[in-house]
């Protein structure tokens, strides 16, 4: 019998991460499990894609030079401070591959996006959790986090945090970055969801990366333009960090069609995202009131456009609530994959008024019969 080819030991027992956004495979099911722009992509997206088809017979621009110029002008970031990836997940993967060694201590908030831990574990980094609690409204205690990050290789912050939806103010995040800079700790700041929240300009740190030696900010077009099937993401950091990440980035990682679509959307369609963010903020307030009327345990008002709630007061866990809502044609995210503490939690997003009313009617039926 031939010998078995074994993977690296870091992969032993490592499960594949679980994500939402799969309801499109089901007929007559509205997907509230993802947190995409509910208004979908711009109406002329097909035309934009068609305009790029002639270029697919050539290798794409590996440096994404035109796209970087567009991003630089739109977000007030120097071209040398930008790396482009196949979605923000590509950036999330490249950071550990560039900077971490086996055994490096990395601080992650919990709950938060599962890919951070996954990619850190793949390279053998040691995860230390900074637990967030409902009694603190799932907000970060800056002083405690700074203390915990002492001597760590890196610290990850998601803003707004996924799945809790909590937004930390810019001054608070800056104070954490500065403290970590003093001790040589890298800060990875994921702002993928921030553009869909009013006040993006007042909260983003993307335009400040050249002021810090230890800050990497991730962003993407996936959520803001509702184009998860077109993989475009960005990493912003000082030129020294970017030059190292560019060594690890896969050659031709962003195709010609993706580059063309991103160029047009960022250059000509950012108002589309701003309008969606404003509309979703209004709908979130309406939905919050409606949830309280049907006695759904909504908790504090969401900072963003999605909710993270315990359904334990309803006498069920997240999986059961998800199953009951699915019978009504509604898909929510069961949050057990974020850890045992969150088996009673679900996440669901805000959409337009008509679809939000459908959600409320389904939830009312599940709760009150």
Show the domain range for 261.
Answer: 45-269
Q: Compute the radius of gyration of the chain from its Cα atoms.
A: 21
* Tens-place pLDDT, residues 282-291: 999 999 999 9
Q: Which pLDDT value is given to residue 239? A: 98
Please tell me the total count of domains within the chain: 2
Tokens of 132: 């967030």
Q: Give the bridge partners for 39, in sequence order.
A: none
Residue 230, φ and ψ in degrees, nearest 5: -115, 110
CATH for 132:
3.40.640.10
> What's the first-to-final CA gap in the chain, in angstroms?
60
Mean pLDDT of 29-47: 93
| Residues 75-81: contacts with CB under 8 Å, at least 24 apart | 75/204, 75/206, 75/207, 75/236, 76/207, 77/206, 77/207, 77/209, 77/210, 77/236, 78/210, 78/239, 80/239, 80/242, 81/209, 81/210, 81/236, 81/237, 81/238, 81/239, 81/242
The answer on pLDDT for 102 being more than 60 is: yes
Residue 20 predicted with pLDDT over 80: no
So what's the pLDDT on residue 16?
78
Q: Where does the pLDDT of residue 23 fall: very low under 50, low under 70, confident under 90, or very high at 90 and above?
A: low
Residue 155 near residue 181, CB atoms below 8 Å: no
What is the average pLDDT across 74-88? Answer: 97
Residue 2 lies in a domain: no
Kindly state whether residues 287 and 247 are assigned to the same domain: no
pLDDT category at 54 given cuts 50, 70, 90 is confident
Q: Compute the average pLDDT of residues 205-224.
A: 97
332-358 pLDDT, tens digit each: 999 999 988 999 999 999 999 999 999
Same domain? 236 vs 257: yes
Same structural domain for residues 264 and 276? no
Q: Are residues 121 and 78 in the same domain?
A: yes
pTM: 0.94
Taking only the tens place, the pLDDT of each residue in 177-199 is 999 999 999 999 999 999 999 99
Kindly state the average pLDDT of the residues 54-61.
90
CATH number at residue 335: 3.90.1150.10
DSSP codes joined into one string, 213-250: SSEEEEEESTTTTT-TTS--EEEEE-HHHHHHHHHHSP
Distances (CA, A) of 41 to 3, 156, 260, 269, 272: 50, 29, 15, 10, 9
What is the model's pLDDT at position 5?
77
4: in domain: no
In this prediction, residue 25 has a pLDDT band, given cuts at 50, 70 and 90, of: low
């Amino acid at each position: 019998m031939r010998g078995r080819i074994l993977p690296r030991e870091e992969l032993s027992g490592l499960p594949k991460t679980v994500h939402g956004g799969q309801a499109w495979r089901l007929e007559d099911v509205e997907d509230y499990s993802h947190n995409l722009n509910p208004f979908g992509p711009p109406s002329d997206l097909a035309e934009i894609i068609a305009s790029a088809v002639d270029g697919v017979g050539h290798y794409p621009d590996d440096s994404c030079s035109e796209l970087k110029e567009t991003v630089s002008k739109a977000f007030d970031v120097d071209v040398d401070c930008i790396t482009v990836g196949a979605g923000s997940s590509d950036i999330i993967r490249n950071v550990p591959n560039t900077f971490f060694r086996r055994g490096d201590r990395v601080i992650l908030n919990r709950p938060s996006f599962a890919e951070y831990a996954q990619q850190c574990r793949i390279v053998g980094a040691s995860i230390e959790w900074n637990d967030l609690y409902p009694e603190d409204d799932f907000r970060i205690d800056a002083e405690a986090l700074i203390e915990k990050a002492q001597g760590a290789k890196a610290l990850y912050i998601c803003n707004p945090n996924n799945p809790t939806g909590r937004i930390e103010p810019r001054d608070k995040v800056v104070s954490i970055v500065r403290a970590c800079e003093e001790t040589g700790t890298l800060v990875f700041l994921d702002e993928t969801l921030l553009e869909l929240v009013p006040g993006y300009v007042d909260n983003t740190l993307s335009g400040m990366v050249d002021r810090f030696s230890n800050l990497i900010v991730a962003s993407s077009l996936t959520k803001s333009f509702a184009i998860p099937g077109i993989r475009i993401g960005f990493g912003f950091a000082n030129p020294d960090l970017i030059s190292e990440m560019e060594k690890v980035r896969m050659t031709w990682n962003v195709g010609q069609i993706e580059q063309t679509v991103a160029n047009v959307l960022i250059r000509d369609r950012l108002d589309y995202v701003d309008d969606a963010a404003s509309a979703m903020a209004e709908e979130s307030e309406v939905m919050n009131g409606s949830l309280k009327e049907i006695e759904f345990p909504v908790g504090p008002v969401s900072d963003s456009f999605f909710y993270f709630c315990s359904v334990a007061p309803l006498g069920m866990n997240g999986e059961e609530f998800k199953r009951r809502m699915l019978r009504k044609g509604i898909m929510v995210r069961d949050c057990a994959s974020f850890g045992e503490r969150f088996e009673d939690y679900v996440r669901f997003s805000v959409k337009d008024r008509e679809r939000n009313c459908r959600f409320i009617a389904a939830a009312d039926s599940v709760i009150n019969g």
